Structures are given as structure tokens and as C-alpha cells.
């Protein structure tokens, strides 16, 4: 099958579905992004303006100088910015979601990330799938080949019986999840399907360390790959990725695909990465480099749930309509006193160099060699515009040096402190 992959607004590449050969250590890495990055000057054509103006409140953005990169070993060419949608259907209305997607597309961002479990935070499951439905209604008004859609299958979780009797990443549930997502998205294929978090036990969302007492029976990874292979063969899925994964997981998924080349190789990993949470660079990055398995990072939470915007201050109440006020138990790892102390230092760096804290945080994520695309999310058009604007600038070496000075003092501030007996619950509602 030959897929037509669009970089944005008619800049198209006709690409085959052949798997790229894996690079081996010693044969590359003079520049980790060499061959994976194309710089494209984006100026949306007139017909895009006309389509966008049909939605009230859309802000037309032209002249963005966006980097486009191949996503891992795939033939997907994605912009360095991806629009996250997890607030659509809860914090944002359907119409607000439409406006955000139009605005992003007008800026050259034709890459959307969603999930079957969105919107979040999840409560009783009554809103399960609402975000995909909103994206699907919008997608129906676009040329399908002009938009890259990434979605996710839920991993194993407790207290989630409303999801297929309790989600697992087995063949039956993978097929059902993808079938339901395609129906909600009103499309016959997704460009990237991701395992939202592993079926096996791993420490998630700020947990400090692996604890063997929480190991549990898990669906073998090879069985997961076989199920996704069926969907790839059927044309329902183009590529496979993982999320909230570990270095071991990346290596195991890729090793099994090497042993049996008929199985799909993961092309991406969607993990948290920010000024406050830099685990990725110390261990997972090695597995993902083009020298090894060539797995592209899709960075989520680059603003640490909004903490790095500077709007949350120690000893002060959070803004009335902010995420931490509306959902006080959500992303608590970004609300701790030491975390907010580190935020104050990073805000100081931003002020010293005459930029907003948002621009500093997004610029930092953008500057990392292993980051293919940064997922941004917003609850207002003002926030979205500020996020997009941040990608018009590169951080200077002086700014990066000041960031490094803060990091040396506050290396990791987002690990939770609860008892190990509570760790088994963290993967319930904070993916």
C-alpha cells in the first residue's frame, strides 16, 4: 500500500510503507537529527484562510518557520509542534476544540494527538471517548490526508471496569479499542496508534523507583505486536508507538520486531519531558537514538501541567479556573513546594532574558536533539497563541547555561513521596 503523507497544506510526499533499516552504533550520530529534519517555511494558502474564517474566533497565523522531521523509522513527516486534545469535551467545549484545531492547522500544525480515554482527568468513564468524537467531527471537514492523527489504546488499569470490563492490551481489546476509535474519529485509519501506558507494571507519573512487589501478570509484548500487525495489514493503522514507557520496554518492543521482521516496529514514544522532569535524557534517550532503535520522542507535559507558565506560586491560591483548582488531585507531582520553588528559579531565568516562562519552557523542550515533536495543550485561544509563538524562537547558549545552573540545584522535583504501598494506585487516573 502506498500512503500519501502531507507535511502541511498541500506540501505532500508520496512515501512507501517500507520499514527503514536500523542504524547501528558507530555508523552514524555525527548529528542525531541528520536526515530526520527538514525546515519548511509555512505560509498557509488563501483557501486555508477561507476555511478557518468559517469558525468564529479563529486566529490566522502565517509566516511560522516550523521544523518538520521524520518520526523515527516511519514515513510520517511531522511538525515540531503537535496539538494535544485531552481537554476537549471537559475543560473545552466542542466549539472551542474546533477553533483550536483550526488555529493550529492554520499555523502549519497538522499533527493531532488524542486518546480513547480522553478527556481527562477521568472520573466515572461517562465522558470516555468524547475527545475523539470532537476530533472526528472536525476531521470530517478536512482533507483526511492533510492531517496526521495519533491516538492511544488504554493500558491496564484498576477501577476502570467501565472500559471493556477493565482495559488490557490483549488482541481482543486492542481490536475493539481501535474499532471504536476509528468510528469516533470518522476515519478508516489512524496514522499512529500508541499504547497509552504499559500493560505490565512500571512506575508511572512521578513514582521514584521500580518496586518488584507490584509486578503482575501481563500480556506478552510479542502478543501485543501480533495484534497490531493485524491492524496494520488491514490498513486500519499505519504505525505503532508507545507511551509512558521505559528503556527496557523500548528495547524489548524493538528487539522482538527485529527477531520477526513481519511484526511492526515502534516508531515513537510519548513520554513526559520538561524543565522539571528530565528522566528521558539520562536513560531512554540512548535506546531511542538513530544509532540504536531510532524511536522518535513525542514530548508531553512540556509545561508541567501549567506549572512552568509561572501562574502557580508558593503560598498562594491557584487561579480560579486553572487545572490545579478544578482538579486538585490531578498532577499533584507538579504542585509540591519544592517543585514550585524550582519553577520560581526558572521564571527568574525567563525574566532575566526578557521572555515569558512559557517561551523558556517550550524552547527548552524544542532544543533537545531527541525531541521529534512537542505536544502543546491549551484551554484558551490566548494560551494556544502563546504556545505557538514560542516556536518562533531559539534559546541562546546563555539561556541554556542559566537553565543548567538551576537544574544542577533542582535535578528532580516531581517524584511523589507517598508510601510504596500507595504506588500501585498511581496508574489509575493520571496518564
What are the φ and ψ backbone dihedral angles of 270, each rounded to 5 degrees? -105, 105
Q: Name the strand (E) or helix (H) holding 342.
A: helix 337-352
- Pick from 147, 68, 59, 41: nearest CA to 102: 59
Q: Report the 10 Å Cβ neighbour count for 144.
A: 16
C-alpha cell at 111: 499533527
What DSSP state is assigned to residue 155? Answer: -
259: left (phi over 0), alpha (psi -120 to 50) or beta: alpha
- Pick from 335, 313, 326, 425: nearest CA to 87: 326
C-alpha cell at 353: 532574558
User: Which position has the grid cell 480515554?
Assistant: 117
Whole-angstrom distance, CA of residue 230 vs CA of residue 242: 17
- Pick from 195, 189, 191: nearest CA to 223: 195
Whole-angstrom distance, CA of residue 50 vs CA of residue 64: 18
- Pick from 308, 330, 312: nearest CA to 387: 308
Is 118 catalytic? The answer is: yes
∠ CA 332-336-340, nearest 5°, is: 120
User: 236 Cβ partners below 8 Å, 6+ apart?
Assistant: 178, 182, 188, 189, 190
- Pick from 244, 321, 250: nearest CA to 277: 244
What are the φ and ψ backbone dihedral angles of 253, each rounded to 5 degrees? -60, -45
Q: Which of 64, 118, 239, 300 is catalytic?
A: 118
Whole-angstrom distance, CA of residue 28 vs CA of residue 22: 11
- Pick from 424, 214, 156, 204: nearest CA to 331: 204
C-alpha cell at 2: 502506498
Pairing mode, strands 81-84 and 111-113:
parallel
SS3 state of residue 307: helix
Longest dimension (CA), the chain: 59
Residues tagged active-site: 118
Amino acid at each position: 500500500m502506498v500512503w500519501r503523507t502531507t507535511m502541511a497544506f498541500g506540501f505532500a510526499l508520496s512515501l512507501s510503507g517500507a520499514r527503514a533499516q536500523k542504524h547501528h552504533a558507530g555508523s552514524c550520530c555525527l548529528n542525531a537529527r541528520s536526515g530526520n529534519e527538514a525546515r519548511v517555511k509555512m505560509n498557509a494558502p488563501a483557501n486555508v484562510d477561507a476555511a478557518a474564517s468559517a469558525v468564529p474566533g479563529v486566529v490566522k497565523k502565517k509566516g511560522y518557520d516550523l521544523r518538520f522531521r521524520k518520526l523515527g523509522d516511519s514515513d510520517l513527516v511531522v511538525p515540531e509542534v503537535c496539538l494535544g486534545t485531552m481537554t476537549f469535551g471537559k475543560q473545552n467545549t466542542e466549539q472551542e476544540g474546533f477553533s483550536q484545531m483550526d488555529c493550529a492547522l492554520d499555523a502549519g500544525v497538522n499533527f493531532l494527538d488524542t486518546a480513547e480515554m480522553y478527556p481527562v482527568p477521568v472520573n466515572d468513564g461517562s465522558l470516555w471517548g468524547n475527545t475523539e468524537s470532537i476530533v472526528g467531527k472536525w476531521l470530517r471537514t478536512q482533507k483526511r490526508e492533510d492531517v496526521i492523527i495519533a491516538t492511544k489504546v488504554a493500558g491496564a488499569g484498576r477501577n476502570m471496569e467501565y472500559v471493556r470490563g477493565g482495559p488490557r492490551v490483549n488482541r481482543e481489546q486492542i481490536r475493539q479499542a481501535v474499532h471504536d476509535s476509528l468510528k469516533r474519529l470518522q476515519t478508516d485509519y489512524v496514522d499512529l496508534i500508541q499504547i497509552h501506558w504499559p500493560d505490565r507494571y512500571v512506575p508511572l507519573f512521578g513514582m521514584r523507583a521500580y518496586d518488584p512487589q507490584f509486578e503482575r501478570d501481563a500480556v506478552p509484548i510479542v502478543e501485543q505486536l501480533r495484534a497490531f500487525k493485524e491492524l496494520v495489514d488491514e490498513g486500519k493503522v499505519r504505525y505503532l508507538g508507545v507511551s509512558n514507557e521505559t528503556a527496557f520496554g523500548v528495547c524489548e518492543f524493538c528487539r522482538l520486531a527485529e527477531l520477526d521482521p513481519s511484526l511492526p516496529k515502534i516508531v515513537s514514544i510519548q513520554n513526559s519531558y520538561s524543565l522539571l522532569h528530565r528522566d528521558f535524557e539520562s536513560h531512554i534517550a540512548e535506546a531511542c537514538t538513530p544509532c540504536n532503535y531510532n524511536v522518535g520522542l513525542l514530548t508531553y507535559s512540556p509545561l508541567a501541567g501549567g506549572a512552568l507558565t509561572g501562574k502557580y506560586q508558593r503560598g498562594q491560591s491557584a487561579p480560579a479556573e486553572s487545572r490545579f483548582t478544578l482538579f486538585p488531585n490531578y498532577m499533584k507531582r507538579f504542585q509540591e513546594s519544592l517543585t514550585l520553588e524550582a519553577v520560581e528559579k526558572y521564571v527568574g531565568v525567563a525574566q532575566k532574558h526578557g521572555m515569558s516562562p512559557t517561551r523558556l519552557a517550550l524552547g527548552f523542550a524544542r532544543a533537545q536533539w531527541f525531541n521529534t515533536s512537542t505536544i502543546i495543550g491549551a484551554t484558551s485561544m490566548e494560551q494556544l497563541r502563546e504556545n505557538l509563538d514560542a516556536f518562533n524562537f531559539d534559546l541562546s547558549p546563555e539561556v541554556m547555561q542559566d537553565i543548567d545552573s538551576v537544574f544542577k540545584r533542582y535535578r528532580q522535583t516531581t517524584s511523589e513521596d507517598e508510601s510504596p504501598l500507595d504506588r500501585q494506585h498511581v496508574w489509575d487516573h493520571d496518564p
